[in-house]
């Protein structure tokens, strides 16, 4: 059994998956996945989706707090390592200012929907993401709690 197969079952991940989906739908007025199922099924569907979904919290140097199976595979990283990694490390130092600017734009506008940028895996492989959507996350009480990104288009450089 895949070492990550249990992750979507954890209550905090089920809750976080709902925050990701609800925030996306609220800001973009569309669904990222079919969310007419129960919370556990939604969490499983998001974790196993064929496209990348990642998120980070609101720390001064935000730490990843979610990455679905596609993200873990793309970045060549385990769940346990991902959730200890500052999200800025997903970009090479030369690309971090551009990444930071994009996150600020999303924070101000609520989301951006046509982001393109270069990222790097934990093994040093570079890839270009295209047509990424980045959006702000708000919890059940409407408080900002992070940002998320999704994309299905990338190419190795």
Sequence-ordered alpha helix ranges (H) in 48-155: 69-75, 79-82, 96-109
In a domain, 13, yes or no: yes
Sequence length of the chain is 157
In a domain, 1, yes or no: no
Range of the structural domain that residue 116 is part of: 7-156
Residue 36 and residue 6: Cα distance in Å, rounded? 22
In a domain, 77, yes or no: yes
Residue 70 and residue 153: Cα distance in Å, rounded? 12
CATH number where 62 lies: 3.30.450.20
In a domain, 2, yes or no: no
Residue 97 and residue 26: Cα distance in Å, rounded? 28
Query: pLDDT at position 36, please?
Result: 74
Query: pLDDT at position 1, please?
Result: 42
Residue 113: φ, ψ to 5°: -125, 15
Q: Over its length of 157 residues, how does the chain's per-residue pLDDT go in tens digits? A: 455 668 999 999 999 999 999 999 999 999 999 777 789 999 999 999 999 999 999 999 999 999 999 999 999 999 999 999 999 999 888 888 888 888 888 888 999 998 999 999 999 999 999 999 999 999 999 999 999 999 999 999 9
Surface-to-core class of residue 85, CB atoms within 10 Å of its CB (0-12 exposed, 13-18 middle, 19+ buried): middle
pTM of the model: 0.92
Q: How many domains does the chain have?
A: 1
Surface-to-core class of residue 90, CB atoms within 10 Å of its CB (0-12 exposed, 13-18 middle, 19+ buried): buried
In a domain, 121, yes or no: yes
Query: pLDDT at position 5, please?
Result: 66
Query: pLDDT at position 46, please?
Result: 96
In a domain, 107, yes or no: yes
């Amino acid at each position: 059994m895949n070492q990550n197969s249990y992750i979507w079952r954890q209550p905090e991940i089920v809750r976080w998956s709902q925050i990701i989906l609800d925030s996306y739908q609220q800001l973009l007025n569309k669904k990222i996945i079919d969310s007419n199922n129960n919370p556990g099924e939604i969490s499983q569907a998001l974790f196993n989706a064929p496209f990348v979904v990642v998120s980070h919290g609101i720390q001064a140097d935000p730490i990843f707090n979610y990455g679905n199976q596609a993200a873990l595979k793309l970045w060549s990283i385990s769940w346990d390592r991902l959730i200890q990694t500052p999200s800025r490390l997903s970009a090479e130092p030369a690309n971090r200012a551009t990444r930071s600017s994009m996150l600020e734009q999303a924070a101000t506008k609520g989301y951006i929907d046509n982001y393109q940028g270069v990222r790097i895996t934990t093994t040093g492989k570079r890839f270009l993401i295209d047509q990424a959507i980045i959006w702000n996350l708000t919890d059940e009480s409407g408080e900002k709690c992070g940002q998320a990104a999704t994309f299905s288009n990338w190419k190795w450089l």
